[in-house]
């Protein structure tokens, strides 16, 4: 039973019991307060995927591990992604790219290069709509499947990992990934890279938060190439100095088992 179902059930029982047992004004105030607390928890569950309120979310491997994983969202981008792939090849590091289906159709050769160089390709929906979180289950299944179809056509491999746009979750997401047998991937630290003024500020924020098994999330699209390369270069040095090693998502998950 998910936290969503459990807390929902608990709320119904608590509201019914308090309305039945209490008298006077409390009969209204207490159930009202319980419902408000539940709605607050529900909102937190939608915003903070790592709470795993609706379904299991892979956002960190084993804490005692000295391994971390690097992930990039929203690509491929014809300018920044090849430059990033050059850097990763030079350093000999694996990463996971959560690609947008439409962009995979547009730049298939970049995705084939990702695969040829040992990176993992994840699903980040077909269109990356800001309304994805409002899709009904059937539409969400179609949206994710369409991206998986495109990625499979280009690489010959159907993605196993899915990261929702904007990192929001809800009961429809839980039903969709269960139906598609996919793993939802969150992140332990990162992002905010489009807003941040300097690479140094992004890297410092990540290094303060990172722990063993951590999944780092950045964008390889919508960020100036120079800034992206500077960020990832500094991050690679900082993470290495902290004693961590970059591994692929699959390996990070194996460590957790
Ligand atoms: Zn995204």
CA–CA dist 218, 166 (Å, integer): 12
| Residue of 119, 124, 128, 219 with catalytic role | 219
| Residue of 73, 74, 77, 193 with catalytic role | 73
149 assigned to active site: no
pTM over 0.85: yes
CA of 184 to the centre of ligand 1 (A): 14
Q: Quote the percentage of the chain above a pLDDT of 70.
A: 99
CA of 236 to the centre of ligand 1 (A): 22
185 and 249 Cβ atoms separated by less than 8 Å: yes
Distances (CA, A) of 104 to 74, 99, 170, 237, 247: 10, 7, 26, 30, 24
Residue 6 in this model has a pLDDT that exceeds 70: yes
pLDDT of residue 23: 83
pLDDT digit string, tens, across residues 14-65: 989 998 888 888 888 999 999 999 999 989 988 888 889 899 999 998 888 8
**Residue 214 CB-half CA count within 13 A:** 17
CA of 59 to the centre of ligand 1 (A): 16
79 assigned to active site: no
pLDDT band with cut points at 50, 70 and 90 for residue 167: confident
Determine the average pLDDT of the residues in 179-205.
92
pLDDT band with cut points at 50, 70 and 90 for residue 257: low
């Amino acid at each position: 039973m998910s936290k969503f179902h459990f807390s929902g059930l608990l709320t119904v029982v608590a509201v019914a019991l308090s309305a039945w047992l209490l008298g006077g004004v409390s009969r209204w105030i207490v159930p009202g307060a319980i419902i408000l607390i539940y709605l607050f928890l529900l909102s937190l569950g939608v915003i903070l995927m790592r709470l795993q309120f609706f379904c299991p979310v892979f956002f960190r491997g084993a804490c005692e591990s000295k391994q971390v994983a690097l992930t990039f969202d929203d690509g491929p981008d014809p300018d920044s992604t090849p430059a990033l792939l050059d850097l990763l090849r030079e350093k000999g590091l694996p990463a996971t790219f959560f690609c947008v289906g439409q962009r995979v159709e547009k730049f298939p050769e970049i995705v084939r290069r990702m695969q040829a160089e040992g990176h993992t390709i994840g699903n980040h929906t077909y269109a990356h709509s800001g309304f994805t979180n409002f899709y009904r289950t059937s539409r969400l299944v179609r949206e994710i499947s369409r991206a998986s179809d495109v990625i499979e056509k280009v690489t010959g491999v159907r993605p196993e990992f899915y990261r929702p746009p904007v990192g929001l979750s809800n009961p429809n997401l839980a039903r969709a990934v269960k139906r598609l047998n996919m793993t939802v991937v969150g992140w332990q630290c990162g992002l905010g890279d489009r807003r941040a003024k300097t690479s140094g500020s992004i890297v410092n924020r990540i290094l303060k938060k990172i722990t063993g098994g951590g999944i780092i999330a950045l964008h390889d699209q919508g960020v100036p190439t120079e800034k992206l390369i500077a960020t990832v270069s500094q991050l690679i040095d900082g993470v290495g100095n902290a004693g961590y090693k970059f591994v692929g998502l699959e390996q990070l998950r194996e460590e957790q088992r």
